């Protein structure tokens, strides 16, 4: 009989149980999709800064949702309120869920108090991407930078987040570093909290 054994209907998305997040798709499916995202955005911009901004926007939308999802699922509806807490949340929890591993490193900038860096040897989104010479410093990591910014912003830590290629000794491929520069108010609050 038709209708028997069919997927259960939920009239409202909020009634749906939250998935455990163990489902997977093939890496190529994601790579194909991501490449379309880049190509589509390339048709709508006339410079690289603009292209990075658009990728970052797309990432921001992802980050905002990831924060919400993970706070509900993994943190019992609590979110971090301290700077180091939220940074390690991004570096460990968010990275692990999205990319299957903890980020390679999390460092504090040496020159500026408000700068932190998350580095990744082989960033997922850069895996199948090679940057044409005429596009200079363009980095698809802008998408991931956007995700990070989305998470931070949603948690009340506004920041400017950018992605850069950094050469590493002994490695052929460039490492991607996500540079996080927090807004002044964040540092002030942090200082007040002691």
Partner 1 sequence: MPPAAPRSGDAIFASVERVNAELFTLTYGAIVRQLLTDLEEVEEVNKQLDQMGYNIGIRLIDEFLAKSNVSRCVDFKETAEMIAKVGFKMFLGVTASVMNWDADGTCCSIVLEDNPLVDFVELPDTCQGLYYCNILSGVIRGALEMVAMKTEVTWIPDILRGDDAYELQVKLLKQVPEEYPYKDDE
Q: Tokens representing 83?
A: 């700077």
Sign of CA dihedral 91, 93, 96, 97: negative
Measured CA to CA, the distance from residue 119 to residue 5 in angstroms comes to 47
Token reading at 13: 């998305």
Residue listed under structure tokens 């038709």: 2
- Residues sharing a CB contact under 8 Å with residue 36, sequence separation 6 or more, in sequence order: none
CA–CA separation, 109 and 114 (whole Å): 8
Q: Is residue 130 a contact point for partner 1 (CB under 8 A)?
A: no
Under DSSP, is residue 63 helix (H, G, I), strand (E, B) or coil?
helix
Rg over alpha carbons for the chain, rounded to the nearest Å, is: 19
**3-class DSSP state of 1:** coil
- What's the min distance (Å) between Cβ of 9 and partner 1? 7
Q: Which one of residues 98, 102, 131, 160 is an interface residue with partner 1 (CB under 8 A)?
A: 98
Closest Cα partner for 151 from 106, 87, 84, 101? 87
In the list 51, 59, 120, 141, the residue contacting partner 1 (rule: CB under 8 A) is: 59
- Which of 1, 15, 28, 169: binder of partner 1 (CB under 8 A)? 28
Residue from 42, 57, 115, 164 that binds partner 1 (CB under 8 A)? Answer: 57
How far apart (Å, rounded) are the C-alpha atoms in residues 95 and 3?
Answer: 40
> Minimum distance between the CB of residue 67 and partner 1, rounded to whole angstroms?
11
Asked if 66 is part of the footprint of partner 1 (rule: CB under 8 A), the reply reads yes
Residue 9 lies near partner 1 (rule: CB under 8 A): yes
Nearer to partner 1, 24 or 169 (CB): 24
Rounded to the nearest whole angstrom, what is the least distance from the CB of residue 58 to partner 1 in the complex? 4
Considering only residues 132 to 191 of the shown chain, the ones binding partner 1 according to CB under 8 A are: none
Q: How many residues bind partner 1 (CB under 8 A)?
A: 39
* Residue 3 binds partner 1, judged by CB under 8 A: yes
Asked if residue 93 binds partner 1 (CB under 8 A), the reply is: no
**Residues engaged in binding partner 1 (CB under 8 A):** 3, 6-7, 9, 12-13, 19, 21, 23-30, 32-34, 36-37, 39-41, 44, 54, 57-59, 61-62, 65-66, 69, 97-100, 124
């Amino acid at each position: 009989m038709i209708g028997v054994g069919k997927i259960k209907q939920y009239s409202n998305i909020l009634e749906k149980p939250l998935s455990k997040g163990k489902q997977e798709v093939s890496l190529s499916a994601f790579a194909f999709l991501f490449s379309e995202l880049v190509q589509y955005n390339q048709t709508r911009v006339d410079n690289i800064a603009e292209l990075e901004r658009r990728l970052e926007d797309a990432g921001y939308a992802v980050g905002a949702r990831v924060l919400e999802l993970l706070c509900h699922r993994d943190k019992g509806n609590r979110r971090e309120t301290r700077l180091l807490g939220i940074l390690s949340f991004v570096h460990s929890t968010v990275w692990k869920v999205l990319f299957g591993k903890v980020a390679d490193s999390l460092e504090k900038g040496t020159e500026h108090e408000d700068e932190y860096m998350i580095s990744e040897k082989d960033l997922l989104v850069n895996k199948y991407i090679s940057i044409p010479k005429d596009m200079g410093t363009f980095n698809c990591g802008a998408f991931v930078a956007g995700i990070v910014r989305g998470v931070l912003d949603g948690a009340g830590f506004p920041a400017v987040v950018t992605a850069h290629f950094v050469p590493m000794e002994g490695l052929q491929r460039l490492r991607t570093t996500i540079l996080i520069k927090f807004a002044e108010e964040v540092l002030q609050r942090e200082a007040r909290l002691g």
